[in-house]
Structure 1
Amino acid sequence: MKRIMASFLVLCLLIMVGCSDSKKGSNKTIKITVSAASSMTESLNELKDMFEKEHPSITITYNFGGTGTLRKQVEQGAPVDLFFLASKKDYQLLEKGGYIQKGNPIFENQLIIIKQEGTGIDSFNSFLNTNEKVAIGTPEAVPAGTYSKQMLKSIGAWDKLVKDNRLVFAKDVHHVLNLVETGAVDIGFVYLSDTLQATNIEIMEEIDSNLHGPIKYYMAMMKEQETNQEAVETFYQYVLLDKGLEVFESYGFQTNKDEEKSEES
């Protein structure tokens, strides 16, 4: 009888341990790695807070930077589950290279010129008649810099600014904001969405969209998902929900909810 009772107790302990291990396994956190254009920093951080409250088993880790730089990281083997790009060209390069599983154009943005509060310069034309410097994202790595260069070429100002050494190249739009906010330069090219959380700056001019290529943002699910495919898909679809897109709208991005849902590839 004692042997039977001992065996029974051992069995109960094994069952309890097994249940405990099973419970621990079910509470395991799944991590998603997301690369994103730096102009999306504030909006994506808010979206992360919303998403993780609703999906506590999924944790999102961001890597922000210039889209071109982030694309090269992907091409060099960086582990990325989801990618938010501020450039159609970079999206197409990754798509052509076979890195993208599926993607969506999600919204557009507006290129603007900013200045430090209190600066006497009141227009870009008046700026051109000074010797002051302007900050733009490095065109080869930062889409905002690419669009800025297109605009400057369209109005015939690029070559003169280069010749006179008046261009300050920044690593991303947040760098441009910092240069203007601190007075390191008088004006800079950024997106409208970047100004909503900025301090000590004013919008000097909105750029005519006909002077540069269309500013489209893309969301891409990358290939080679292994253990977190379902979690990545969950976040991907969450972004496309109205409440997800409304977060981006609150930061100045221009979305078209119905069109974006119908264009999923």
Structure 2
Amino acid sequence: MKKYSVLIFIIIMVVLSGCSSEEQDSDEKTELTISAAASLTDALLQLQDTFEKEHPEIQTSYNFGGSGSLRKQIEQGAPIDLFLSASSIDYEKLVEQQRVMEGEAILSNNLVLISDNEASVSSFDSFLAGEGTIAIGTPEVVPAGTYAQETLTNLGAWDTLENQNRLVTTKDVSQVLTLVREGAADVGIVYSSDVNRADNVHILQEFDKSLHSPIKYYAAIIDNGEENEAKLKAKETYYQFISSETAKKVFEEYGFQFTISVQK
């Protein structure tokens, strides 16, 4: 009898162990890594909790920076699942390389001149007439910097500022905000949505849209060789969420304009 009891006990333990293992597998979350333009930081972090509550089976992590630098990371094989770019050029380069499974422009923005709250200048013209410095993102890797260069060139001011060493270039728009807020630069050029992210900074003026290329943000599902069905489904779920009414409300709170039909 003892032998039978031991055998039954072993069988029960094996069954329970199998159930426990299945339970553990079902509780595992699918992880998504999302590379996004630095100017989207606050809006996306606010949306993160909402998304993960709606989809508890998915866990998201973000990699924020200049769109050009993020695109290069993807080209070099970084395991990125989705890319939210502030640059049509960086998005299109990935499309050409067949790294985008699905994508479209979802947001637009405005370019503005900012200063700290104690600045003596009142407009771009008054800044240009002085000797102060202007901070912009590095044009080669930061879309806001690319738009800033176009704007300054079309205003006939780029060569003057460059020759007078009055240009300060940064790794992203967050650094532009920091330099202006701390008085390390007299003025800066960022997106209107960025001003929500910084204390002691205000808008001096909004630049005319005709001075630069259209400012569009693109959402893209990245093809990184992932064949796992759960991961592919999670990517599509997040992609749809970014186009939802919930996302639209948050993006608009931060000064972005929604450019696509809302996913219900």
Given the two structures, how large is their TM-score scaled by the length of structure 2?
Answer: 0.95
Question: Helix, strand or coil: the match of 2:233?
Answer: helix
Deviation at 1:231, TM superposition (A): 1.3
Residue 249 of structure 2 is aligned with which of 246, 249, 257?
246
Q: Residue 105 of structure 1 aligns with which residue?
A: 105
User: Could you tell me how far apart the structure 1 residues matched to 2:85 and 2:25 are?
Assistant: 34
Instruction: Report what 1:137 is aligned to.
Output: 137
Q: Cα deviation per residue 1:42-70 (whole Å; 9 max; x = unaligned)?
A: 00101111111222221111111000111
2:4 is the alignment partner of 1:4: yes
Partners of 1:133 and 1:185 within 8 A in 2: yes
The gaps in structure 2 that reach 5 residues or longer are none
Deviations 1:89-121 (A, max 9, x none): 111111001111110211100100000102110
1: CA distance, partners of 2:33 / 2:196: 26
Give the total of aligned pairs. 260
Alignment check: 8 A CA contact 1:69 1:141 kept = yes
Query: 1:112–1:204: 8 Å Cα contact kept in structure 2?
Result: yes
Contact 1:245 1:257 in 2 (8 A): no
**Percent of residue pairs bearing the same amino acid type:** 45
Correspondences of 1:145-156 after superposition (within 5 Å):
145-156=145-156
1:133-184: CA deviation from partner (whole Å, max 9, x where unpaired): 0000000000000000000111111011111110000110000000000000
- Residue 226 of structure 2 corresponds to 225
Distance in 2, Cα, partners of 1:44 & 1:130: 38
Bigger Cα displacement from structure 2, 121-130 vs 249-258: 249-258
1:176-187 to 2 correspondences below 5 Å: 176-187=176-187
- Equivalent-residue separation in structure 1 for 2:99 and 2:49 (angstroms): 28
> Could you list the runs of 5+ residues in structure 1 that have no partner in the other structure?
none
C-alpha distance in 2 between matches for 1:134 and 1:257: 34
Shift, 1:256, TM fit: 3.3
Separation in 1, partners of 2:156, 2:260: 37
CA contact (8 A) 2:105 2:260 kept: no
RMSD: 1.2
Show CA shifts across 1:204-257 (max 9, x none): 000100000000000000012233111111111111111122211111100134
- Aligned AA for 1:251? Y
Q: Secondary structure at the match of 1:33?
A: strand
1:42 and 2:42 correspond: yes
The answer to whether the Cα contact below 8 Å between 2:105 and 2:259 also exists between their aligned partners in 1 is no
Q: Structure 1 residue 2: deviation in Å?
A: 4.0
Taking the TM superposition and a 5 Å limit, the aligned residue runs for 1:52-91 are 52-91=52-91
Tell me the secondary structure at the aligned position of residue 113 of structure 1. Answer: strand
Verify the 8 A CA contact 1:117 1:202 in the aligned structure 2.
yes
Worse overlay, 136-145 or 51-60: 51-60
Which amino acid letter does the alignment assign opposite residue 213 of structure 1? Answer: S
**One-letter amino acid of the counterpart of residue 49, structure 2:** D
* Correspondence for 1:237: 240
- Tell me the distance in 2 between the aligned counterparts of 1:173 and 1:233: 29
What one-letter code is carried by the residue in structure 2 that aligns with 1:133?
T
TM-score w.r.t. the length of structure 1 is: 0.95
Most deviating of 96-105 and 134-143: 96-105
Supply the distance in 2 between the matched residues of 1:131 and 1:257 (Cα, whole angstroms): 43
Contact 1:242 1:257 survives alignment (8 Å): no
Partners of 1:62 and 1:197 in 2: CA distance: 18
Runs (4+) of structure 1 moved beyond 4 Å?
none
Distance 1:256 1:35 in 2: 20
